[in-house]
Amino acid sequence: MHSVKSDFPILQNRNIVYLDNAATTQKPRSVIDAIKEFYEYHNANIHRGLYPLAREATEMYEKAHETVAEFIGGRAEETVFVKNASEGLNLAAWILKNRLGRGDNVVVTVSEHHSNFLPWFKVAKMQGAAVKVAGTRADGSIDEEQVVEMIDRKTKIVAVQHASNVTGYITDLEEIVKAAHDSGAVVVADGAQSVPHVPVNVKKTGIDAIAFSAHKMLGPTGIGALWMKGELLEEGEPLLEGGDMIKEVHYDGELRVVYNEIPWKYEAGTPNIAGGVGFAAAVEYLKSYGVENVLPHEQKLARTLMDGLEELGITWVGPKTVEKRGGVVTFTVRGMSSHAVALYLGTKNICVRAGYHCAQPLHESLGLKDTVRASVYIYNDKNDVDRLLAALEEIL
């Protein structure tokens, strides 16, 4: 039987238990090779040169947009490459800001990553609008009913995570999308923790925008995507100005600018071309694995981990069953700071995250100072979970 771990050089070269996948994932050989091959055989700038090498690079970068877009059921022209999901969500807020006016509101949740929380406060303040913050259930999972209840005729934007990087909870978007659209609002989803783990089809969910990062789904750092409905991209203004995102610039005492077609309108300057190629290679790897197989694998490991934590008397955050959660398990060890726990685990070559996980409002709403987060992915196995539990038992 093929071992998924054997596809990942770092897992062969280092004796580590890597359980920090919600922060970033390791890279398979195919992704590393795709980036290496681009630099060795195809490197040139895009959308500029007429020589064969430049055309090759352009074709590869544009093909990467198609590959990534198809992975989520979208179209290439609606898929803007960005640095990461954080930049994608900030860009979404910028594009949609003119939908807000004085007296309007944006609905978010206290469970959001800071990247899907702070930008909406910023643009709301710019436009004289308000931000309404929905709470969570007792276990920290998003309360979809409360989100729906907060949506009114003054709501123009609803920004919500598709999956939590703290509780692992997978949000049911259906009723939120319906309520938002019935009120004339658009829905922006943070897909950083969902697109790598569950099948996402933007047309079926009905969302208006979603942002996600390549590095959380086996791809390189410094590249991600914002998918947004074409009509919204067309009506929005670019955040950055520069090369390749314009068709014409005229100045005769008055400035006249004609922007490029979407998505290039939002990709100013020379982009991360090799990163785009690596992004596409990561998508191809996930397709070969079967993205529909990711969540069941993670849930099995999460169940084993949660059962083990319970036996040790360690409390975890989020739903007690795995049906509505992914492979993120966040916990606290009584009498120890999360950083002390993570540092000890590090001495055992076990990689976990400690702190607020860029979700401080959620932690504070749950009365938590900080937490330890273990997050699994396709290359993790029961042995990884067992090593974590054994190390935790040592410090109790």
CB half-sphere exposure, 176, CA atoms < 13 A: 26
Stretch 155-173: mean pLDDT: 98
Strands 371-375 and 328-332: antiparallel
The three-state secondary structure class of 284 is: helix
Whether the pLDDT of residue 2 is over 80: the answer is no
Identify the sign of the CA torsion 145, 357, 8, 380: negative
Cβ atoms of 43 and 54 closer than 8 Å: no
Stretch 12-18: mean pLDDT: 96
Interval 251-309: pLDDT, tens: 999 999 999 999 999 999 999 999 999 999 999 999 999 999 999 999 999 999 999 99
Whether the pLDDT of residue 1 is over 70: the answer is no
Domains along the sequence of the chain with CATH: 4-19+291-395 (3.90.1150.10), 30-288 (3.40.640.10)
User: Has this prediction a pTM greater than 0.85?
Assistant: yes
Q: Amino acid identity, residue 57?
A: A
Which residues lie closer than 8 Å to 390 by C-beta, 6 or more apart?
none
The percent helix, strand, coil of the chain (3-state, each to 5) is 45, 20, 35
Q: How far apart are CA 120 and CA 100, in angstroms?
A: 11
Cβ atoms of 356 and 319 closer than 8 Å: no
Average per-residue pLDDT for the chain:
98
Q: What angle do CA 235, 238, 241 make, to 5 degrees?
A: 145
Q: How far apart are CA 123 and CA 330, in angstroms?
A: 31
Whether the pLDDT of residue 58 is over 70: the answer is yes
Whether the pLDDT of residue 341 is over 90: the answer is yes
- What is the predicted pLDDT for the residue at 3? 87
Q: How far apart are CA 147 and CA 170, in angstroms?
A: 15
- What is the predicted pLDDT for the residue at 7? 98
Q: Exactly one of 4, 16, 239, 358 is catalytic; which is it? A: 358
Interval 69-103: pLDDT, tens: 999 999 999 999 999 999 999 999 999 999 999 99
Q: How far apart are CA 213 and CA 209, in angstroms?
A: 14
**2 or 25: which leads in pLDDT:** 25
DSSP 132: E
Tell me if residue 351 is catalytic: no
In degrees and rounded to multiples of 5, residue 367 shows phi and psi of 75, 30
Strands 155-161 and 105-109: parallel
Identify the sign of the CA torsion 317, 318, 319, 325: negative
Interval 23-57: pLDDT, tens: 999 999 999 999 999 999 999 999 999 999 999 99
CB half-sphere exposure, 224, CA atoms < 13 A: 26
Stretch 327-337: mean pLDDT: 97
Q: How far apart are CA 90 and CA 228, in angstroms?
A: 13
CA distances (Å), origin 126, targets 93, 119, 120: 11, 11, 10
